[in-house]
Structure 1
C-alpha cells in the first residue's frame, strides 16, 4: 500500500507518521511518500519520519520528494494537508478582519474565505493530477476550510472525503470522563465542518444508551471551561458545541481578545521554528511533546481509521467525516457537505440517519451552507462581486459596509494568489 501526503513538510506530519507506525496492523503502509516544495523543511520532517518508523519497527519505506507527479504516481490514497501562503498568509487572515470589528480566524469569516480562495484552485489542480495518476485513488482532505475544499473536490467528481480532528478529540475527552475506551463512545455529531454540535454521546454504537445528560451534569464545568463558554449556556442547550461555535456565541468577546493578544499564527510560527530545530536532531526518534500544542491532536488516529476503511482494511466502520448531505439533513441541499457520523467502506462514506435537528442549530447551518456555496463560487470563478456576496452572506459579517471594506482588504492582501485580481 502506498500513501502520499501532500504538504508532507508540515510540522504536523510527525503526528501522522507516529499513527502510521503505531497502527500498522490497521493500515499496513509499505511506502509513505511526503511531498512538499519546501525541500529544507521536507528533509527535516522526512528524517524524523524515517527514525520514527525505524524506532517502532515499522518495515515501510519513507520517501521525500518535491515532485508532485512522482509522489502521487501509483498512490492508493493521497492526504492533503497544505497551506497556500504559509503562516504569513494565515497571519494576514487573522488580523485584517479585526479592523472592521469582525473575527480574524483562518477557517471562518473573512479570513476563512481568503484561505478558501487561495486553496481551492491549488487543491483542484492536485486532484486532477491524482486522478490521472490513479483514477481509483482516494483523496483525504485535511486542508482547511475542509467543508468548502471537500465540496470543491466532490463537485469536480473526485473520490474525496473530508476529515477534521474535532470529533475524535471530543470522543477521547468524553471516553476519559466516562472511564471507557474511545471505541466504546459513539458521538451523535451533526453540523458542518467547524460548525458542529454533539447532540448525544452513546455507549457502544449508534443505538447505545445516550449518556450526554450525565456527562453534562457531572462534567459540565470542565467541558464548558475547555470550550471557553459559560456552563449555564451548555445546561440550557443540552448539547456540546464545538469550540468554533464560540466565534458565533461570543463574537464580540472573542474580537476583543484577538485584538489584545498575539495572533495564533504568530504563536504557531514560533512553535514551528522550535519544532523544526528539534526535528533536525538525529537522536530524536519520537514525536516531541511540543507537537501537541501545535494542534491536530488525534489527527493520526482519525486518518488511519479513515484510510483503512476506504482501502478495505480494518478501520472503524463508523467515523465522523465530511461528505455530501444527500438527504441526511433535509433542510440542506443534497450537495451540501456536512460533517456527521458515517458508515465508511471501499465505496466511500454513507452518512448515518440523524435525529431531527433543533431549529437553533439548523438555522445557523443553513446560513453557513449558503455562505459556503457563494464562497465556492468565488473560489472557482473569481471576481470582486462574488467575494462581496460571500462576505455579505456570512453570519459573522452580514453588514454591507463591512462586506465592502473586507472585500477590498481580502483582495489587497491576497492579490498574488488570485488569478483574476
Structure 2
C-alpha cells in the first residue's frame, strides 16, 4: 500500500480498542519502516474509504523488540539532525533562524565569519541592529511583506563588527522550527557582484559622458535602420527630443537629394562593413546642413548594429568654397596676363597652365595638364639640354635665362621654386 493507505490505516487504529503497546508498536513500525500494510494479531484493518483489506503479518509485541525500534528511530533523528547541522554550517551563505519577533535564535558559521561576531553575541539580538542605517526603512517594509506573504526577497547591507559593510541579497521564509513558527533568513554576500556592477556603472557613465559630449552626432541603428540610440548632439542639432528622434527613420532627417541614396549606402556598408559618405541633414525647422557620415557594422549584445557618426562639415564646405573662390580669382588674374605661366611638380609634370600658355601650346588646359614640360614647351631648354626651371628646383633659387625660338623670337624664361610650410620645394 502507498502512503495514502498508511495514513488511512493510522486513523483506523485510533478508533480500535487495541492496547497502548500494540498501538505504539504499529505506529513506530509504520513510521520507521513505512510498512505497506497493517494488521494487529492477524486481524485485517480496512482503511477509511477503502474496500480492499490492508494486511501486515508478524508484528512483534515483545518489549525488547519495541526498544530496538525506538533505538532505530532515535538513531534516525540523530542522523537527521547531523545532516541539518552539516548543511547549516557548511553553507557559504549567511543563515539566520529568528523567532516571529525577529530575535535571532541561531546563525551559521558563515554568518559569524563574515560579520565578525560570535554566535553568543548575536543570539537574542535582531538583524535590524546590524543593518546599515540607509536600509532600515526598506528592512521594516520587507518585514511586513514577510508576515503577509510568508516570503520576501530584497537587497540590503549589514555592518560587521569592525565596521565593514557587507551588501547582501536576503531571502526570508516562515518555516516550522522545533514545533513553532520561525523565520529562516538566507543572506548571500554580493560584495563581488556589487563591485562589478559599480565598475559597469562607472564605465557606462564614462561612455555616456563621451557619447553625449562629443562634437559629432551619433546614431545606433539595427540592420533595418531603426534608431536604437542617439546622443544629445544629434537631438540638439536636428531640433528633436530624444524620444521624438528615436521614432524617426534616416529618410526623415535627410534632404530629398540624399534620402534616395540610403539604400545604396546600406548595400555598401553590408558588403564592406564600413563606409564614408556625404549627405545633408534636415532639421525640424526645415533648414539643412551638410554632413559626413562614417558608418560601421558593430556587434552589440550578440546582435549586429550600425554605428553612424555624422560630422557637420559646414565650415569645411565654406573653407573649400573660399579656397575655390580664391583659386578662381587667381586663375582670372593669371589668365589675363600675356606672359606664359606654367605650374609643374618636381618631375616637371604640368599641373596647371594659364590661357596664354595654352594658346601658345595650341591645346586646351585639360589636354596640357599631366604632360611633361618639355613635351609641349621646349622654350626653357638650351642647346645643351639644360633647363633653367629644373635648376631653380634643385638650387632653390629663382633662375632666369633667354631663349630664341626657331621663328626668331627671344624669350625670357624665369623659374621660381615654390616652397611648402616646412620650407621644402614642392614645384
Same fold per superposition (TM over 0.5): no
Whose strand proportion is higher, 1 or 2? 2
Pairwise TM-score range, normalised by the shorter structure: under 0.3
Whose helix proportion is higher, 1 or 2? 1
Q: Greater RCO between the two (CA within 8 Å, min separation 6)?
A: 1
Calculate the TM-score normalised by the size of structure 1.
0.19
Calculate the TM-score normalised by the size of structure 2.
0.18
